[in-house]
Amino acid sequence: MRACREVLNGAVPLPSLLDPDRLFPSDPASREIARELYASVAALPILSPHGHVDAAVLLDNEPFADAAELLVRHDHYVTRLLHAAGIELSALGLPDADAPGAVAPAREIWRTFSRNWRLFAGTASGYWLNDQLVRILGVDEHPSAENSDAVFDRIAARLAAPEFRPRALFDSFGIEVLATTDDPLDDLSAHAALAADSTFRGRVLPTFRPDAYLDPADAGWAERIEALTLGRTSYVAYLDSLAARRQYFIQHGAVAADHGVVQPLTIDLSPSDAQALFDCGMAGTLDGAEARAFSAHMLLEMARMSVEDGLVMTVHAGVHRNHSSETHRRFGPDTGHDLPVATNWVESLHPLLERFGNRADFHLVLFGVDETAYSREIAPMAGFYPSVYVGAPWWFLDAPDAVLRFRAAVTETAGFYRGSGFVDDTRAFLSIPTRHDMSRRLEAAFLARLVREGRVDVASAASILHDLVDTLPRRVFNL
């Protein structure tokens, strides 16, 4: 780990598996510009205002178990592609409800992964994994059936070292801010303990994620509302309790509330209509359309609360979750079976924007997995409404070519200054520096092309790149 920071910053020669010019444009003149632009931001601190790392990982600061635990088992990008190759999720270490207690051995999981390394060529995961293996874990060969055990042991030795504990990595990665994603009823004790710990300098911020409390069609909704409202199950108490939990999150450092929906539908119901639907929801008598109306109303209410309490509102839309009910039942959510669907923003958000769209103090960041909406809806909305920001390309679209398509699709309409800055949105702690580095390289590559095409001068490009990496996320997320 001694050299980790230096390697990350380019001070140490990189192994041949890692091209120092990776992701830069092919044309030599553009490549030279990209190289210089990238160098100007490569070492800036990492701001990660949205993600899924557990705060307890940093609080406990336990060593990572092994290569399979670190890189395979919890990464649904990895498990889904191995599952597609015909490998059972149970063979990747995921607990199987049909075979309780049985867990694949870590070394065997790593063998399976290594044997199938070719499947990741050209994917975002392949890029990230290679970067982590080489830059952070010091592995200087591609995983393979032949080297599987040796690499597993080599990684194990690394993980045992104190500089590979989570907090040491947090420092060496140069992370300044890391946001987690949390249930509204979470007591945030891990966040509080970290904030009180004078030996840890990083900022670890909770994020309010109330999805499960907003949609009466979700199993267990009424029970959760009972818990949220401490039994006072009126619509007014429901709204008050949500507002109170938001305040609790704010007191613990939260800067954002996050919302995951299939379609970003919003409806502006009257209080009495909302109350009536709420009561039916608690009684379990809503039909599908009524439940959709109520949750659409609640998304608008969340915007209202954001206007009032200042939490940035992030919306992640367009994913059909748990498409395979068999693997969902056996292996649970977030294991690879989520699929994008076409997403409509302009019509769906109309009621919300009619209410709050023109407020510059309201920050609404939109993340989608239907890239057709980038040029057609998201950039045009962010190019008019002062509240709307273009979220970084998300999930299936957080990959080199997709990022450049995103950048080209939004910039010509919204410019560079209506974006959220990069958001890694990751569950894989080790991938954080890799993903931010990838983003910086791609932004440099995009700007270098524009310089080469006479559309931006090089001084402006350098200034824009600094703003994309540093100024914008601070401003949009009030960091």
* Bridge partners, residue 179, by sequence: 205
Nearer to its own copies, 55 or 438 (CB): 438
DSSP per residue, 339-404: EE-----TTTTHHHHHHHTT-TT--EEEEES-THHIIIIIHHHHTT-TTEEEPPP-GGG-SHHHHH
Taking the alpha carbons at both ends of the chain, their separation in whole angstroms is: 29
Round to whole Å and give the CA distance between 421 and 206: 19
Nearer to its own copies, 223 or 453 (CB): 453
Going across the sheet that includes 46-48, the strands are: 46-48, 175-179, 203-205
Nearer to its own copies, 172 or 306 (CB): 306
Strand spans (E) along 90-219: 175-179, 203-205
Helix (H) / strand (E) containing 259:
strand 256-261
Query: Using the rule CB under 8 A, which residue among 233, 247, 322, 324 binds its own copies?
Result: 324
Based on the shown chain and the rule CB under 8 A, indicate whether residue 339 belongs to the binding site for its own copies.
yes
Nearest-approach distance from CB 15 to its own copies, in angstroms: 12
Nearest-approach distance from CB 25 to its own copies, in angstroms: 7
Query: Using the rule CB under 8 A, which residue among 402, 432, 468, 472 binds its own copies?
Result: 402
- Tokens representing residue 44 in the block: 């800036």
Nearest-approach distance from CB 2 to its own copies, in angstroms: 25
Based on the shown chain and the rule CB under 8 A, indicate whether residue 421 belongs to the binding site for its own copies.
no
Q: Which of residues 185-214 bind its own copies (CB under 8 A)?
A: none
* SS3 per residue for 321-356: CCCCHHHHHHHCCCCCCCEECCCCCCCCCHHHHHHH
Helix axes 271-283 and 288-309, enclosed angle (nearest 10): 120
Based on the shown chain and the rule CB under 8 A, indicate whether residue 412 belongs to the binding site for its own copies.
yes
Instruction: Using the rule CB under 8 A, give the single segment among 52-60, 199-207, 268-276, 340-348 that binds its own copies.
Output: 340-348
Q: Which of residues 11-70 bind its own copies (CB under 8 A)?
A: 17-19, 21-30
Query: Using the rule CB under 8 A, which residue among 210, 281, 351, 400 binds its own copies?
Result: 400
Round to whole Å and give the CA distance between 304 and 271: 13
Q: Which of residues 119-178 bind its own copies (CB under 8 A)?
A: 119-124, 126-127, 142
Q: What share of the chain is helix, strand, coil (3-state, %, to 5)?
A: 50, 10, 40
Nearest-approach distance from CB 324 to its own copies, in angstroms: 6
Q: Which of residues 354-373 bind its own copies (CB under 8 A)?
A: 354, 357-358, 360, 369-372
Based on the shown chain and the rule CB under 8 A, indicate whether residue 417 belongs to the binding site for its own copies.
yes
Nearer to its own copies, 15 or 63 (CB): 15
Nearer to its own copies, 126 or 281 (CB): 126
DSSP per residue, 3-39: THHHHHTT-SPPPTTS-TTTTS-SSHHHHHHHHHHHH
Nearest-approach distance from CB 430 to its own copies, in angstroms: 19
Nearer to its own copies, 167 or 452 (CB): 452
User: How many residues line the site for its own copies (CB under 8 A)?
Assistant: 94
Based on the shown chain and the rule CB under 8 A, indicate whether residue 375 belongs to the binding site for its own copies.
yes
- Return the number of other C-beta atoms located less than 10 Å from residue 319's C-beta: 21
Query: Using the rule CB under 8 A, which residue among 167, 292, 363, 449 binds its own copies?
Result: 449
Based on the shown chain and the rule CB under 8 A, indicate whether residue 99 belongs to the binding site for its own copies.
no
By C-alpha distance, which of 168, 258, 169, 164 is closest to 209? 258
Based on the shown chain and the rule CB under 8 A, indicate whether residue 452 belongs to the binding site for its own copies.
yes
Strand 388-390 versus strand 364-368 pairing type? parallel
Round to whole Å and give the CA distance between 48 and 213: 25
Based on the shown chain and the rule CB under 8 A, indicate whether residue 236 belongs to the binding site for its own copies.
no
- Tokens representing residue 324 in the block: 């395979």
Query: Using the rule CB under 8 A, which residue among 3, 39, 85, 236 binds its own copies?
Result: 85
Q: Which of residues 244-283 bind its own copies (CB under 8 A)?
A: none
Nearer to its own copies, 241 or 439 (CB): 439
Based on the shown chain and the rule CB under 8 A, indicate whether residue 337 belongs to the binding site for its own copies.
yes
